[in-house]
Amino acid sequence: MPTTFKISGMSCGHCVMAVKKALAGVPGISEAKVEIGSAVISAEGALNVEAVKAAIEDAGYDVVSAQ
């Protein structure tokens, strides 16, 4: 099952690109569908939710929820 991350602070296409770029640095992600305000992420095995949160927050956005 993919994990849906709700993200605050995203407002435009540049934010989408910034989040995509941040997620590219997280190992184990097989697919990431990013749009303004959310990212739906599939992983090869168990997704490292904390690593995803850290990557998104390092890029300057806030993770509101992950489920």
Quote the least distance from Cβ 7 to Cu ion, whole Å. 11
Tell me if 45 contacts Cu ion by CB under 5 A.
no
Among residues 2, 4, 6, 12, which is the contact residue for Cu ion, using CB under 5 A?
Answer: 12
What are 17-21's contacts with CB under 8 Å, separation 24+?
18/59, 18/60, 18/61, 19/56, 19/59, 19/61, 21/59
Which x/- pattern over 14-43 shows residues binding Cu ion (rule: CB under 5 A)?
xx----------------------------
Distance between CA atoms of residues 23 and 40, nearest Å: 11
Query: Where does this chain touch Cu ion (CB under 5 A) — which range of 11-19, 24-32, 37-45, 55-63?
Result: 11-19
Token pair of 28 as six digits: 């184990």
Site residues (CB under 5 A) for Cu ion?
Answer: 11-12, 14-15
